[in-house]
Amino acid sequence: MTSTESTTANRALKGVRRVAVWTIIVSLVIAALIGIATIVSGEFGELQAKVLLTTLAVAGAAILALCHLAVLGRDVKVLGWIGIGTSAVTLAAASILIWWNWSDTENMYGSSSVYMNITKLFAISLLLAVSFAHANLMLLLATAPFKWMRVVLDLNLVLIGIVPLLVIPVILSDGGFPPQSLSDMYWRFFGVVLILDALGTVALPVITLIARGKQRAAGIDPVRPSVVELTLRDERAEWVGREAVAAKTTPLAVVEGLIDKARKAK
Protein backbone atom coordinates (compact mmCIF):
# COMPACT_ATOMS: atom_id res chain seq x y z
CA MET A 1 0.00 0.00 0.00
CA THR A 2 1.42 3.43 -1.00
CA SER A 3 1.59 6.38 1.39
CA THR A 4 -1.28 8.06 -0.47
CA GLU A 5 -3.48 4.97 -0.18
CA SER A 6 -2.57 4.66 3.50
CA THR A 7 -3.51 8.28 4.15
CA THR A 8 -6.83 7.84 2.32
CA ALA A 9 -7.60 4.68 4.33
CA ASN A 10 -6.80 6.45 7.61
CA ARG A 11 -9.08 9.34 6.71
CA ALA A 12 -11.90 6.94 5.80
CA LEU A 13 -11.41 5.08 9.08
CA LYS A 14 -11.56 8.33 11.05
CA GLY A 15 -14.73 9.24 9.16
CA VAL A 16 -16.37 5.93 10.08
CA ARG A 17 -15.38 6.39 13.71
CA ARG A 18 -16.87 9.87 13.68
CA VAL A 19 -20.13 8.48 12.28
CA ALA A 20 -20.19 5.82 15.02
CA VAL A 21 -19.65 8.45 17.73
CA TRP A 22 -22.41 10.68 16.37
CA THR A 23 -24.72 7.66 16.09
CA ILE A 24 -24.19 6.95 19.78
CA ILE A 25 -24.83 10.59 20.72
CA VAL A 26 -27.97 10.94 18.58
CA SER A 27 -29.38 7.60 19.80
CA LEU A 28 -28.86 8.53 23.44
CA VAL A 29 -30.41 11.97 22.86
CA ILE A 30 -33.48 10.35 21.28
CA ALA A 31 -33.73 7.90 24.17
CA ALA A 32 -33.45 10.78 26.65
CA LEU A 33 -36.16 12.76 24.84
CA ILE A 34 -38.47 9.75 24.90
CA GLY A 35 -37.84 9.34 28.60
CA ILE A 36 -38.55 13.02 29.27
CA ALA A 37 -41.71 12.94 27.16
CA THR A 38 -42.89 9.86 29.02
CA ILE A 39 -42.37 11.50 32.40
CA VAL A 40 -44.08 14.73 31.35
CA SER A 41 -47.05 13.09 29.60
CA GLY A 42 -47.38 10.14 31.91
CA GLU A 43 -47.96 7.87 28.92
CA PHE A 44 -45.69 5.03 27.89
CA GLY A 45 -47.21 2.68 25.36
CA GLU A 46 -45.92 -0.12 23.16
CA LEU A 47 -44.78 2.25 20.41
CA GLN A 48 -42.74 4.41 22.78
CA ALA A 49 -41.17 1.29 24.26
CA LYS A 50 -40.21 -0.05 20.84
CA VAL A 51 -38.70 3.25 19.70
CA LEU A 52 -36.76 3.55 22.96
CA LEU A 53 -35.42 0.01 22.74
CA THR A 54 -34.49 0.50 19.08
CA THR A 55 -32.48 3.65 19.79
CA LEU A 56 -30.69 1.91 22.66
CA ALA A 57 -29.94 -1.06 20.39
CA VAL A 58 -28.48 1.28 17.74
CA ALA A 59 -26.36 3.02 20.39
CA GLY A 60 -25.12 -0.33 21.69
CA ALA A 61 -24.21 -1.50 18.17
CA ALA A 62 -22.33 1.75 17.54
CA ILE A 63 -20.36 1.31 20.77
CA LEU A 64 -19.40 -2.22 19.73
CA ALA A 65 -18.45 -0.92 16.27
CA LEU A 66 -16.07 1.60 17.84
CA CYS A 67 -14.31 -1.25 19.63
CA HIS A 68 -13.96 -3.19 16.38
CA LEU A 69 -12.78 -0.14 14.44
CA ALA A 70 -9.83 0.18 16.84
CA VAL A 71 -7.96 -2.63 15.05
CA LEU A 72 -8.90 -1.98 11.42
CA GLY A 73 -5.60 -0.17 10.86
CA ARG A 74 -3.58 -3.09 12.21
CA ASP A 75 -2.53 -6.54 11.01
CA VAL A 76 -5.45 -8.15 12.88
CA LYS A 77 -8.06 -6.09 11.04
CA VAL A 78 -9.88 -9.27 9.98
CA LEU A 79 -11.04 -9.63 13.59
CA GLY A 80 -12.38 -6.09 13.42
CA TRP A 81 -14.43 -6.89 10.32
CA ILE A 82 -15.76 -10.10 11.87
CA GLY A 83 -16.73 -8.12 14.96
CA ILE A 84 -18.54 -5.52 12.86
CA GLY A 85 -20.40 -8.33 11.07
CA THR A 86 -21.54 -9.94 14.32
CA SER A 87 -22.60 -6.52 15.65
CA ALA A 88 -24.71 -5.96 12.52
CA VAL A 89 -26.38 -9.35 12.97
CA THR A 90 -27.05 -8.51 16.62
CA LEU A 91 -28.68 -5.19 15.69
CA ALA A 92 -30.80 -6.84 13.00
CA ALA A 93 -31.99 -9.61 15.34
CA ALA A 94 -32.66 -7.10 18.11
CA SER A 95 -34.73 -4.94 15.75
CA ILE A 96 -36.84 -7.93 14.68
CA LEU A 97 -37.47 -8.92 18.30
CA ILE A 98 -38.31 -5.36 19.32
CA TRP A 99 -40.79 -4.77 16.51
CA TRP A 100 -42.36 -8.21 16.80
CA ASN A 101 -46.09 -8.25 17.45
CA TRP A 102 -45.96 -8.61 21.22
CA SER A 103 -49.67 -9.45 21.41
CA ASP A 104 -49.03 -12.63 19.37
CA THR A 105 -48.01 -14.62 22.45
CA GLU A 106 -49.08 -17.95 20.97
CA ASN A 107 -46.33 -17.83 18.33
CA MET A 108 -43.66 -16.19 20.48
CA TYR A 109 -42.71 -19.14 22.63
CA GLY A 110 -41.82 -22.73 21.90
CA SER A 111 -38.59 -24.42 20.86
CA SER A 112 -39.60 -24.51 17.19
CA SER A 113 -41.01 -20.99 16.87
CA VAL A 114 -39.39 -18.36 14.67
CA TYR A 115 -39.37 -15.92 17.57
CA MET A 116 -37.34 -18.26 19.79
CA ASN A 117 -34.89 -19.02 16.97
CA ILE A 118 -34.34 -15.30 16.43
CA THR A 119 -33.91 -14.90 20.19
CA LYS A 120 -31.16 -17.52 20.12
CA LEU A 121 -29.56 -15.81 17.14
CA PHE A 122 -29.62 -12.52 19.02
CA ALA A 123 -28.09 -14.02 22.16
CA ILE A 124 -25.30 -15.81 20.27
CA SER A 125 -24.46 -12.89 17.98
CA LEU A 126 -24.45 -10.49 20.96
CA LEU A 127 -22.12 -12.80 22.88
CA LEU A 128 -19.77 -13.04 19.89
CA ALA A 129 -19.90 -9.29 19.19
CA VAL A 130 -19.02 -8.47 22.80
CA SER A 131 -16.26 -11.11 22.84
CA PHE A 132 -14.72 -9.75 19.63
CA ALA A 133 -15.00 -6.19 20.98
CA HIS A 134 -13.24 -7.31 24.15
CA ALA A 135 -10.51 -9.08 22.19
CA ASN A 136 -10.02 -6.18 19.76
CA LEU A 137 -9.53 -3.72 22.61
CA MET A 138 -7.04 -6.06 24.29
CA LEU A 139 -5.15 -6.41 20.99
CA LEU A 140 -4.23 -2.73 21.32
CA LEU A 141 -1.70 -4.02 23.87
CA ALA A 142 0.03 -6.20 21.25
CA THR A 143 2.98 -3.78 21.29
CA ALA A 144 3.51 -4.21 25.04
CA PRO A 145 7.17 -3.49 25.87
CA PHE A 146 7.99 -6.84 27.47
CA LYS A 147 7.62 -10.36 26.12
CA TRP A 148 5.94 -11.72 29.26
CA MET A 149 3.22 -9.08 28.86
CA ARG A 150 2.54 -10.27 25.32
CA VAL A 151 2.39 -13.88 26.57
CA VAL A 152 -0.15 -12.85 29.22
CA LEU A 153 -2.11 -11.07 26.47
CA ASP A 154 -2.20 -14.27 24.40
CA LEU A 155 -3.49 -16.21 27.42
CA ASN A 156 -6.12 -13.54 28.06
CA LEU A 157 -7.28 -13.77 24.43
CA VAL A 158 -7.65 -17.54 24.84
CA LEU A 159 -9.81 -16.98 27.92
CA ILE A 160 -11.94 -14.47 25.99
CA GLY A 161 -12.48 -17.11 23.30
CA ILE A 162 -13.39 -19.81 25.82
CA VAL A 163 -16.31 -17.81 27.25
CA PRO A 164 -18.58 -17.98 24.16
CA LEU A 165 -17.52 -21.59 23.53
CA LEU A 166 -18.92 -22.50 26.95
CA VAL A 167 -22.12 -20.45 26.70
CA ILE A 168 -23.23 -21.06 23.09
CA PRO A 169 -23.95 -24.82 23.58
CA VAL A 170 -26.16 -23.91 26.54
CA ILE A 171 -28.14 -21.45 24.39
CA LEU A 172 -28.54 -23.86 21.48
CA SER A 173 -29.69 -26.70 23.75
CA ASP A 174 -32.21 -24.54 25.64
CA GLY A 175 -30.34 -25.24 28.85
CA GLY A 176 -30.12 -28.97 28.24
CA PHE A 177 -26.33 -28.79 28.13
CA PRO A 178 -24.28 -29.57 30.14
CA PRO A 179 -25.78 -32.80 31.48
CA GLN A 180 -26.79 -32.83 35.11
CA SER A 181 -23.81 -34.98 36.12
CA LEU A 182 -21.33 -32.39 34.78
CA SER A 183 -23.29 -29.24 35.45
CA ASP A 184 -21.62 -28.32 38.73
CA MET A 185 -18.08 -28.82 37.43
CA TYR A 186 -18.93 -27.07 34.15
CA TRP A 187 -20.15 -23.87 35.75
CA ARG A 188 -17.34 -23.85 38.30
CA PHE A 189 -14.87 -23.96 35.42
CA PHE A 190 -16.82 -21.20 33.70
CA GLY A 191 -16.58 -19.06 36.83
CA VAL A 192 -12.81 -19.58 37.04
CA VAL A 193 -12.44 -18.56 33.39
CA LEU A 194 -14.47 -15.39 33.99
CA ILE A 195 -12.39 -14.43 37.03
CA LEU A 196 -9.07 -14.95 35.22
CA ASP A 197 -10.43 -13.12 32.18
CA ALA A 198 -11.47 -10.15 34.31
CA LEU A 199 -8.11 -10.16 36.11
CA GLY A 200 -6.16 -10.02 32.86
CA THR A 201 -8.49 -7.39 31.40
CA VAL A 202 -7.97 -5.05 34.36
CA ALA A 203 -4.36 -5.76 35.33
CA LEU A 204 -2.62 -6.03 31.97
CA PRO A 205 -3.56 -2.56 30.61
CA VAL A 206 -2.54 -0.96 33.92
CA ILE A 207 0.82 -2.75 34.04
CA THR A 208 1.47 -1.97 30.37
CA LEU A 209 0.65 1.70 30.92
CA ILE A 210 3.09 1.89 33.86
CA ALA A 211 5.84 0.12 31.90
CA ARG A 212 5.37 2.39 28.89
CA GLY A 213 5.46 5.44 31.16
CA LYS A 214 8.81 4.36 32.60
CA GLN A 215 10.22 3.72 29.14
CA ARG A 216 8.96 7.09 27.92
CA ALA A 217 10.63 8.78 30.90
CA ALA A 218 13.87 7.04 29.95
CA GLY A 219 13.62 8.37 26.39
CA ILE A 220 12.59 5.04 24.86
CA ASP A 221 9.69 4.87 22.47
CA PRO A 222 7.27 2.40 24.19
CA VAL A 223 5.71 1.39 20.87
CA ARG A 224 9.06 1.03 19.10
CA PRO A 225 11.56 0.00 21.84
CA SER A 226 14.43 0.13 19.32
CA VAL A 227 13.99 3.91 19.04
CA VAL A 228 15.72 6.04 21.70
CA GLU A 229 15.24 9.79 21.95
CA LEU A 230 18.26 11.85 23.08
CA THR A 231 18.56 15.54 23.86
CA LEU A 232 21.98 17.16 23.45
CA ARG A 233 22.70 20.49 25.14
CA ASP A 234 25.24 23.29 25.06
CA GLU A 235 28.62 22.51 23.49
CA ARG A 236 27.68 18.96 22.46
CA ALA A 237 24.64 20.13 20.53
CA GLU A 238 26.64 22.91 18.86
CA TRP A 239 29.44 20.50 17.90
CA VAL A 240 27.01 18.00 16.35
CA GLY A 241 25.35 20.85 14.46
CA ARG A 242 28.67 22.08 13.03
CA GLU A 243 29.67 18.55 12.02
CA ALA A 244 26.34 18.04 10.27
CA VAL A 245 26.72 21.29 8.32
CA ALA A 246 30.32 20.47 7.37
CA ALA A 247 29.37 16.96 6.19
CA LYS A 248 26.16 18.20 4.55
CA THR A 249 24.09 15.68 6.49
CA THR A 250 21.72 15.61 9.45
CA PRO A 251 22.63 15.75 13.17
CA LEU A 252 21.07 12.30 13.53
CA ALA A 253 23.40 10.88 10.89
CA VAL A 254 26.38 12.39 12.74
CA VAL A 255 25.38 10.79 16.04
CA GLU A 256 24.64 7.42 14.41
CA GLY A 257 28.05 7.55 12.65
CA LEU A 258 29.83 8.15 15.97
CA ILE A 259 27.96 5.23 17.56
CA ASP A 260 28.90 2.94 14.67
CA LYS A 261 32.57 3.91 15.03
CA ALA A 262 32.47 3.27 18.78
CA ARG A 263 30.91 -0.16 18.25
CA LYS A 264 33.56 -1.13 15.68
CA ALA A 265 36.36 0.01 17.97
CA LYS A 266 35.31 -2.46 20.68
Average pLDDT over residues 186-200: 96
Least confident of 73-87, 127-141, 225-239: 225-239
Question: Does a cis peptide bond (omega within 30 degrees of 0) precede residue 178?
Answer: yes
**Residue 176 in domain:** yes
Same domain (yes/no): 179, 106:
no
Mean pLDDT computed over 146-153: 90
Answer yes or no: do 155 and 46 share one domain: no
Residue 240: CB atoms within 10 A of its CB come to 18
- Same domain, yes or no: 130 and 163: no
At residue 233, the pLDDT reads 77
Residue 215 maps to a domain: yes
Where among 91, 106, 137 does a domain terminate?
Answer: 137
Q: Which pLDDT belongs to residue 109?
A: 61
Same domain? 155 vs 102: no
Given 117, 137, 157, the domain boundary residue is 137
User: Is the confidence at residue 190, as pLDDT, over 60?
Assistant: yes
Task: Pick the more confident residue, 29 or 106.
Answer: 29
Q: Indicate the residue type of 121.
A: L
pLDDT at 229: 64
Whether the CB-CB separation of 90 and 129 falls below 8 Å is answered with: yes
What percent of the chain has pLDDT above 90? 38
193 with 164: CB under 8 angstroms?
no
127 and 169, same domain (yes or no): no
Phi, psi of 216 (to 5 degrees): -65, -40
CA distance 14 to 210: 28
| 44 plus 162 within the same structural domain | no
Q: What average pLDDT does the structure give for the chain? A: 84
Rounded to 5°, angle at Cα 52 from 49 and 57: 120
Please report whether residue 255 resides in a domain.
Answer: yes
Q: What gap in Å lies between CA 134 and CA 87, rounded to an integer?
A: 13
Q: How confident is the model at residue 266 (pLDDT cuts 50, 70, 90)?
A: low
Q: Does one domain contain both 208 and 163?
A: yes
Q: What are the C-alpha distances in Å from 233 to residues 121, 216, 220, 245?
A: 64, 19, 18, 17
pLDDT by residue (tens digit) across 1-43? 554 555 666 777 788 888 888 888 888 888 888 888 888 887 7
What is the number of structural domains in the chain? 3
My answer on whether 148 and 130 are in the same domain is: no
- For 250, the 3-state DSSP assignment is coil
Assess if residue 157 is contained within a domain. Answer: yes
Residues 32 and 91 in one domain: yes
Tell whether 214 and 256 lie within a shared domain: no
Q: Which residue has the higher pLDDT, 211 or 224?
A: 211
248: left (phi over 0), alpha (psi -120 to 50) or beta: left
- Which residue, of 137, 159, 175, is where some domain finishes? 137
Is 59 domain-assigned? yes
**Can you give the residue range of the structural domain that contains 240?**
234-265
The H-assigned helical ranges of the chain are 3-41, 46-69, 77-98, 114-138, 147-172, 180-217, 234-246, 251-265
Instruction: Say if residue 21 is in the same domain as residue 132.
Output: yes
| Closest C-alpha among 203, 224, 205 to residue 215 | 224
Residue 228 in any domain: the answer is no
Tell me which residue of 1, 129, 107 sits closest to 57, measured CA to CA.
129
Angstrom distance (rounded) from CA 246 to CA 171: 74
On whether both 92 and 12 belong to a single domain, the answer is: yes
Q: Is residue 110, in this structure, part of any structural domain at all?
A: yes
Query: For the segment 113-131, what is each residue's pLDDT rounded down to a tens digit?
Result: 888 889 999 999 999 999 9
Residue 224 has pLDDT above 70, yes or no: no
The conformation of residue 68, written as its DSSP 8-state character, comes to: H
